[in-house]
Amino acid sequence: MPIKKVMLLFLSLYLLLGTLTPAAGAAAGGVSPSLKLAVEDSVSEIRAVSIHNTYYVPLRSLSDALGWRITGQKNGIQVAGNSRSLLLLSNNGGALLKDGTTVPMNTVLDNGSLLIPLKLSIYLGYSVSYEPDKYLLRVWSGAAKLDNAAFAEKFKAELKPKPSPDAGTAASSGKPGQTVYLTFDDGPSATTTQLLDQLGKHGVRASFFMLGQHMRQYPAQVKRIAADGHGLGLHGMTHVKDKFYASPAAALQEMEDANAILTKLAGKGTTLIRPPYGSKPYFTRSFRDKVLVQGYHLWDWNVDSEDWKYKEDSATIYNSVMAQVHKLKSSKTDPVILMHDQKATLLVLPRILDELKKEGYSFGVITGSMTPVNFWKDKR
Ligand SMILES: [Zn+2]
């Protein structure tokens, strides 16, 4: 996983692991480096990232480093190592231990890589140590020879995070205000293929915020969206206000379910989300806290095509979109245009693409390392 992405993905401070003591020092600029994970008596290339007070590592890499075996089961993933095993239940159902107890254990999907809390190793008989002042985060078993103090001293130089020169810069290409981010909601649909053809003909890439139900219905379209290099985003499962916004947990569950479907179809998940109807007014602080700490990034828009409302009235949509785009130009803001994956949009899209190109705009794909544009100005 690219370091820059990891750094921008996750929050600011050196946070604590489980019940261990919090760090005293925060990194300058509010962005914390990830830590190189120490495994037994050496420093590995595994990056541990801090999410909401817990260090996460990729399950695959950790298993390779410690010789664990991972097996897919009907209801989750079995992780076996060091003569113990546990079952990581699907849908963040926790870790089922051999004695029948279940301990809460959230996992995070990052671009197809499953991240697990490092403390999972404790349930497989390992010890985990965290000494923030020494940048030491270590997983070790009885086979380790060095104690933590000796380890930290020996690997002092290697453990210290190197400053990343490009941390904090946006991934956007071109000058500010010159890149358009086209976004399509509610797909995929029966017209996605034509939409992709139009985009392909113009050499333009966009981002799709898709509904789980529709991904199930149009799996080939999901695969092509991914294969064509468009941005992947989640729009939930039901698109029903009373269901999605019933509770923060319900909203998170819809996004997780949609992400699971996306991962299955596209071979990778995403961290980009757009709640149905946009994030204001319903996606309040408690919703954002619940969902965004899982590593998701909230994206709304700053240009509303209202294509769902004007349907075949292409002239109105075109004029409104261009007027909003021109207004943003004076403030050097990149337009994030909301459109919908629907038949009527096919009528107006080529004209909008032609004009934006004529005016010198380039087209970007939204990524997890960009600063999110949303109505709450929530930069997580
Ligand atoms: Zn929608």
pLDDT value, residue 310 = 94
> Residue 12's closest CA among 59, 48, 60, 50?
50
What is the CATH superfamily name and number for domain 179-363? Glycoside hydrolase/deacetylase (3.20.20.370)
pLDDT value, residue 62 = 92
Round the average pLDDT of the chain to a whole number and report it. Answer: 87
Spacing, Cα 87 to ligand 1 middle (Å):
36
At 320 the three-state DSSP class reads helix
Spacing, Cα 215 to ligand 1 middle (Å):
14
In the chain, where are the structural domains located?
Answer: 3-159, 179-363
In this structure, which residues have their CB less than 5 angstroms from ion ligand 1?
185-186, 276
pLDDT band at 2 (very low <50, low <70, confident <90, very high): low
Inter-residue long-range contacts of 99-106, CB under 8 Å, 24+ positions, other chains counted: 106/54, 106/294
Alpha carbon distance 47, 70 (integer Å): 20
Residues with a known catalytic role: 185, 340
How would you class 166 by CB atoms within 10 Å of its CB: exposed for 0-12, middle for 13-18, buried for 19 or more?
exposed
Spacing, Cα 346 to ligand 1 middle (Å):
17
CB 193 within 8 A of CB 224: yes
Q: Which tens digit of pLDDT belongs to each residue from 110-168?
A: 766 788 999 999 999 999 999 888 889 999 998 899 999 999 999 998 888 765 444 33
Q: How large a percentage of the chain has pLDDT more than 70? A: 87
Q: Please list, in sequence order, all residues whose beta carbon lies within 8 angstroms of the beta carbon of residue 230, skipping any fewer than 6 positions away.
A: 196, 199, 205, 206, 207, 208, 365
Spacing, Cα 241 to ligand 1 middle (Å):
10
pLDDT band at 3 (very low <50, low <70, confident <90, very high): low
pLDDT value, residue 30 = 30
Spacing, Cα 239 to ligand 1 middle (Å):
7
Spacing, Cα 338 to ligand 1 middle (Å):
10
Q: Which tens digit of pLDDT belongs to each residue from 12-26?
A: 323 333 333 333 333
Spacing, Cα 282 to ligand 1 middle (Å):
14
Q: Which tens digit of pLDDT belongs to each residue from 88-117?
A: 998 889 999 999 999 988 888 876 678 899
Spacing, Cα 237 to ligand 1 middle (Å):
10
Look-up: residue for tokens 């996983």? Answer: 1
Spacing, Cα 361 to ligand 1 middle (Å):
26
